[in-house]
Amino acid sequence: DDKPFYEYFTERRVLTPLDSLPPNLVQALIATEDREFYNHWGVRWTAILRAVIVNFQEGRRAQGGSTITQQLARKLFLTPERTLERKIKEWLMSIKLERSYSKNEILEMYFNINYYGAGAYGIGAAAQTYFGKSPGDLDMMESAVLVGVLPAPSAYSPLRNPDLARQRRNTVLRSLVAIGQLDASAFDTLSQTEIVLHQPEAGAYG
């Protein structure tokens, strides 16, 4: 009948421009992942120094808080292995990204390239998968949920682990309080709110 019978996909992805995203989503990401995002050139030098000291003096693998740009570089070009060599490549690629693209372009790529669990690649697919809406319609609580899943989409998925997802959401909300983007009373309300998920029709995603 000229209607799709079934859909097969490797990555379900909907590209979404940054200007279509709500400010609360961008604020949640920056508050949680990289509060100095607009003030660095791709890396935070104090984090680099800490990683080098830990690696060489304590014999541990290189570590340190990665910037949003570093995370993007890792997703685009590198493997997830934690070695000093890979970290140096990550730093160099991050600086190159910052020289080649604007901050807003980096944010747009970041939101669109990340995996959010449940087969959803990119913020457009994630908003539809979890909440049945376009990214521009996400409220503060929903934005916090989606930012919260990014470090470990399977572990923090509200579909698979609702309790962990609530904990991560509340961590993101606390970060917003810390930077003055959310007041304490709003946090108290949102942190007690249940995560209400979209229930797709059977077979909607294959």
* 107-129 confidence digits (pLDDT tens): 999 999 999 999 999 999 999 99
pLDDT attached to residue 62: 47
pLDDT attached to residue 6: 45
pTM of the model: 0.84
Low-confidence ranges of the chain (pLDDT < 70): 1-14, 47-48, 50-52, 54-65, 200-206
Annotate 155-205 with DSSP letters as a single string.
TT-TTT-HHHHHHHHHHHHHHHHHTTSS-HHHHHHHHTS--PPP-PPTTTT
Yes or no: say if 15 and 112 are a contact pair by the CB < 8 Å rule: yes
Closest CA to 164 of 175, 176, 152: 152
pLDDT attached to residue 5: 47
pLDDT attached to residue 8: 46
Backbone φ, ψ for residue 121 (5° rounding): -105, 120
